[in-house]
Every structure is written in C-alpha cells, then in structure tokens.
Chain A
Amino acid sequence: MTHLDTELKLLKNDILEMMNIVNGQLKKCKSAVLHFDKELAHEINANERRVNALELKIDRDCENILALFNPVAVDLRFVLACFKLSGDLERMGDNAQSIASYVLDLDHPLPEDMMSDLRLNEMFDNAIEMLDEVFDAFESEDTASSRKIFAKDKVLNEINHQSAKKVSELIKTNSEDIPTYLYLFSIIRKLERVGDLAKNTAEEIIFYVEAKVLKHRKKKNKKSNSK
C-alpha cells in the first residue's frame, strides 16, 4: 500500500464515520419526533458538534492530500467526491438538528393521526434507508446501490408535494392549531431536503467510481445513465 493509499483509506474511514453519525442522528430524530422525546432532541443537538468537527477534519485532509500528493484520475475523483460528501453530510446533520429543535420548541406531541395522514413515518424510514444505502454504496464502491437511491428521493418529493396541500387544508378547517401544522410541515420539508442531499451523495459516488457527472442533466440523459 502506497503512502497515498493509506491517506485515502483514512479519508474513506472518516467519511464512513460521518455517514454513520448522520444516519444515527436521523434515526434519533425519528424517535424524538414520534415519541416526543425531548431528551433525545438534546442529544441530537450535542452530537451536531461531532458532525461539524468531522466536516472540518475531512476538508483539511482533502486539502492536504491535494497539496501534498497531487492525486490524479480515480484518486483525484475520490478526493473531490469526499470534499463534497462531507459538505452534504454536514447539511444533512444540520437538518436533523433543526428537526430536533422543533421537538424542543413544541409544548405537546404531534397528533399521531396527523403524522400518519402526512406519512411522516414513511418519510423518516425512506430517508434513513437512503442513508443506509449511501453508506453501503460508498463502502463497497457499488454504483448500482447508488442508483437505487434516486427512486427513494422521488418518494420523498412526492410526500412533500402532497403534504403542502394537506397542511393547507388542515389550516383552513382548524385554525386553532396552526403552529403544530407548521412544525409538522417544516419537519417534512427538512426530510425532503435530506433526501435531496442523499441523492447528491449518490451522484458523488457515481462520479468517483465511474467518472460520470449526473447532476444538472436532463431526465432523458439521466435515465440512460442510470441503467
């Protein structure tokens, strides 16, 4: 193993650790929201510092590798992908923290029937599965797994789209509990954002492994590339 290989392996381990922490944050978010667990929400807030610290470490390591080893080809793509992955993961962490702060702000649990009607549980599960798949895809450099993530993002987008209509109807019919609806809608928006960021990470993995750039492509092209 060359010196560069060792540095790249350490970088990969840091990204995997960051993915693990962010995934854990999201799982805790789910529990904190569904069970109205404020203690868990505090824990999520505290853990956010670890996510931020890892982002800074990964950024510095990428900078050092670029400056000292001048990587090329697959090594260069790997470092560039890691640089972007750390940013995306940090923003996922931010979204998890925002959801936790909503739990802390609320003075009563979110109504179960409302959560079920807005498919909040399904959304959490989808987002968590996406992160699981991102972890596996990155660890095993498996672009087929990366491509599965795109379909899950569509589910999140669709739930988010539906929820806007449902929440506006709820506000019209029951104007007394508007803050609750708004918190619920905000959580949904944050989870939708997590889905977008998970999709970005999948694209970065495909860029690193296959040297293909999928972002900003027309749907037609994307289809042919996702085969």
Chain B
Amino acid sequence: MEIKLKLNGKAVTASIEPDTILLDFVRDHGCLSVKRGCDTANCGLCTVLMDGMPVLSCSMLAARADGHSIQTLEGLQEEAEDFVGFIADQGADQCGFCNPGFVMNTIALLRENPDPTNDEIRAFLAGNLCRCSGYDGQLRGIRNYLNSRKK
C-alpha cells in the first residue's frame, strides 16, 4: 500500500507493507536516532512526534501515519541543541542509547509546559527508561536548562 506523510518537514511518498511498523519506516528513511529498545511500548527509546505529540513508533503502524506529520530528532536538532548541552554537562547521556527518545519527550514536555516543576518533569518522563544514569542527571540538566532560560 502507498502512504504519504511529512517526515521532518519533507513530503514522503512510500510503498509499505500493511504491517510495517513506524519505527522501521523512519529508520529506513534515514532517521537512525530512533532506536529499537524494549519493542514492547515500555521504554520510550523509539519516541517520535506525530502531529507534535509524542508516541511510541515501535507500536504504531506506519499506515496510520498516512496523511500526518512525523518528526524525529533529525528534524528537531535546532530546538534540541541548547537543552542537550545541559544534559551532556551533567554526564547524564552516558551510553547515549536512550538519549534521543528522552530528548524528544522533553521537547514535547516543554512545548506543553514551558516551566514545569520537578514533579511534573518526573511524571512526563516516566515513560523513558535509562539503565545507566538513575535519572538524577537528566533532571538536573533540565532544571539547569530551565533556570538558564530565566536569566
């Protein structure tokens, strides 16, 4: 079947199988920041934005993206750039495998709630698992980034 969508702002027309998963589709189209983690909709590594909303690409049919806009970190580098520096300063990216999904969901959080409390940050990012860091580094990085924006 044929689908048409916007991938990182560019119109894409592609022929897919009905059971093609969005994760495989975006990776096949060069968006290698999107990682396959648990593959059971639990870890958040495969987060992409669909019409601006964070979703798990490992569990979404590419067919459902037909007619919609999909964004991956490749298309949001400018928006992510400042924030990612603060995460790196905390050493919170460590192995880095979870980082793209984590950054994508943080972007979604800050679009929805530009000045979140620590509890709001924890709640929004609860679906992003990291086996290295213990999460405190990410929280400090986001907090420092938010504080820097207020100066």
Indicate whether A and B interact. Answer: no
Chain A residues within CB distance 8 Å of chain B: none
